[in-house]
Chains A and B, each alone.
Chain A
Amino acid sequence: MKFHNLTIQDIRQKLNSGELTSVELTRVCLERIKATDDKLNAFITVCEEEALAAAAVADQQIASGNGALLTGIPVAVKDIFNTLDVRTTCASKILDDYVSPYDATTITKLREQGAIIIGKLNMDEFAMGSSGENSAAGAVYNPWDTQRVPGGSSSGSAAAVAAGQVVATLGTDTGGSVRQPASHCGVVGLKPTYGRVSRYGVVAFASSLDQVGPVAGNVEDCALMLGVVAGYDPADSTSVDCLVPDYLENLKTGVAGKKIGLPKEYFIDGLDPDIKKAVNSAIETYRQLGAEIVEVSLPHTDYSVASYYLIAMAEASSNLARYDGVRFGIRQDSGDGLIGMYQQTRTAGFGDEVKRRIMLGTYALSSGYYDAYYLKAQKVRTLIRQDFHDVFEQVDLLLTPVAPTPAFKIGAMTNDPLQMYLSDIFTIPTNLAGTCAMSLPCGFSEDGLPIGLQLIGKPFAEAEMLQAAYAFEQATDWSDRVPEL
Chain B
Amino acid sequence: MNSRYEVVIGLEVHVQLTTKTKIFCGCSIEFGQSPNSQTCPVCLGLPGALPVLNQQVVEDAIKAGLATNCQIAPHSIFARKNYFYPDLPKGYQISQFELPICEHGWMDIETEELGKKRVGITRIHMEEDAGKLLHNESNSSSVDLNRACTPLLEVVSEPDMRSSEEAIAYLKQLHQIVVYLGICDGNLDEGSFRCDANVSIRPWGQKELGTRAELKNLNSFRFIKQAIEYEVERQIDVIEDGGEVVQETRLFDPDAGVSRSMRSKEEAHDYRYFPDPDLLPLQVSADWVERVRSVLPELPLVKLQRYQDEMDLPAYDAGVLSAERPVAEYFEGLVALYNNPKVCSNWVMGEVLGALKEKNLEIIDCPVSPELLAGVLQRIDDKTISGKIAKTVFEEIWQSGKNADQVIEEKGLKQVSDSGAIEAIVDEVIAANPGPVAEYHAGKEKLMGFFVGQVMKASKGKANPGMANQLLKKKLAG
Contacts and interface: CB of A to CB of B under 8 A. Distances in A.
Do A and B interact? Answer: yes
Interface in A141-157: none
Interface residues of A, number: 43
B311 interface: no
Of A104, A362, A365, the most chain B CB neighbours within 10 A belong to: A365
Interface string B21-54: 0000000000000000000010011111111110
A363 to B, nearest CB: 10
A342 B84 contact: yes
Interface string A313-349: 0110110111010111000000000100010000000
Q: How large is the interface on B (under 10, 10 to 19, 20 to 34, 35 or more residues)?
A: 20 to 34
Contact of B41 (A95, A102, A208, A370): A102
B46 A328 contact: yes
Interface string A199-215: 11111101110000000
Given A237-B278, A327-B143, A362-B272, A100 B47 contact: yes
A237 B277 CA distance: 10
Contacts of A95: 47
A367 interface: yes
A364 to B, nearest CB: 9
Given A315-B277, A318-B274, A200 B91 contact: no
Contact of A88 (B47, B90, B92): B47
B82 A327 contact: no
Which label, helix, strand, loop or mixed, suits the secondary structure of the B interface? loop
B147 interface: no
Which label, helix, strand, loop or mixed, suits the secondary structure of the A interface? loop
Interface in A185-242: 199-204, 206-208, 234-238
B83 to A, nearest CB: 9
Contacts of B336: none
Contacts, number: 99
Contacts of B52: 234-237
A229 to B, nearest CB: 15
B48 A208 contact: no
B310 interface: no
B278 A207 contact: yes
A237 B47 contact: no
Contacts of B273: 365
B81 to A, nearest CB: 10
Contact of B84 (A90, A321, A328): A321
A318 B47 contact: no
Given A201-B48, A202-B48, A326 B277 contact: no
Given A321-B84, A327-B143, A365 B274 contact: yes
13 contacts: A88-B47, A90-B47, A100-B41, A100-B46, A102-B41, A202-B48, A204-B278, A238-B277, A318-B91, A320-B91, A321-B90, A324-B86, A366-B270
Given A204-B48, A238-B280, A322-B89, 6 more contacts: A100-B46, A102-B46, A204-B278, A234-B52, A320-B91, A324-B86
Closest A-B pairs by Cβ, 9 of them? A321-B91, A208-B277, A207-B277, A365-B272, A201-B48, A203-B47, A82-B48, A367-B270, A322-B45
